[in-house]
Amino acid sequence: MSKDEVSIIGKPVKDMYGTTIGNVLGTLTHIDGCIQTVGVDCGSEGLKQIPYDQIVLQGDVVIYIPRWRIDAQKILREKRLTLKRLKALMGIISENDATKSDADLIHDTYKTKLMELDEAESKVRDELSTRLDELDGQENIVKVILFDTKVQFKSDEISDYTFESVKKQCNNLLERMSHERVEVNNVQRRIEELSLECMELTQPKKEMIQESAVSYLDTSGNTLTEHENILPEPPMENSEPSMQTTIGAQNNYDGSTESS
């Protein structure tokens, strides 16, 4: 292990929002000496093993990064880069149509990559939704504790100092949860924006295929002409007099019948 890796041992571990998790007890390493996981002493909750790629040393504190955040950043980075390359590829094709056959090969590669990212993105969406549900449950518990403490204070069961201390701790925790909720929502929004951008970029190609199918061949084997695709025009205004003439003729006929 390097000096930096050894220096994390014994350090306090906190999450990204300031909540203390425990202290670094030690590490598990691969056969090549690289750290695999970090063991964190969480007190009564026992030992928790955290993958080494989910921690960052900042000063004298080890920061724990949740898995959903790492996965989301990876998806956003790769999908954004793939879309940029796909746009560049389509720009090259529009400038020089002669390169279309060669570009199609690369286009299929990017399309496959987007499909793989969509599958990974679905898992990240589930992780984000699960985390929001967890935050809802934890938030409700904190609010119940805070309200029960208020009842105890009003019934003179606890001192003013105790009540203020509990109130401060609960509000701090609710604030940290609120920060995490905002971050999760922002990540969800960025993922959704990239998905819409991906649809807008790939949709025109489907429309071109549909148009090509419509203009291909009819059942007789002849190419459909533009005239055959034109819808019939609505009746013209000068068609009304002919209708009135017909009605007038019918009335004259009825009158002549009655007179006879």
- Per residue in 57-85, pLDDT (tens digit) is 998 999 999 999 999 999 999 999 988 88
The mean pLDDT of the chain is: 79
Q: Find where tokens 């609505």 sit.
A: 234
d(CA 178, CA 139): 9
CATH code at 3-65: 2.30.30.240
In this structure, which amino acid lies at residue 197? E
Average pLDDT over residues 188-206: 79
The structural domains of the chain, with segments of one domain joined by +, span 3-65, 69-210
d(CA 191, CA 181): 15
* pLDDT at site 258: 47
Is pLDDT larger for residue 201 or for residue 209? 201
C-alpha atoms less than 13 angstroms from C-alpha of 165 in its C-beta half-sphere: 5
DSSP per-residue letters across 186-228: HHHHHHHHHHHHHHHHHHHHHHHHHHHHHTSB-TTSPBPPTGG
pTM of this prediction exceeds 0.75: no
Indicate the pairing of strand 12-15 with strand 35-41: unpaired
Percent of the chain with pLDDT over 90: 46
Of 217, 214, 210, 219, residue with least CA distance to 229? 214
Of 111, 15, 123, residue with least CA distance to 71? 123
What pLDDT, in 10s, does the model give residues 112-152?
Answer: 888 888 888 999 999 999 999 999 999 999 999 999 999 99
Average pLDDT over residues 234-245: 46
* pLDDT at site 98: 62
* pLDDT at site 203: 64
Indicate the pairing of strand 61-64 with strand 35-41: unpaired
* pLDDT at site 142: 96
Average pLDDT over residues 11-34: 90
Alpha carbon distances (Å) from 97 to 88, 107, 139: 14, 14, 58
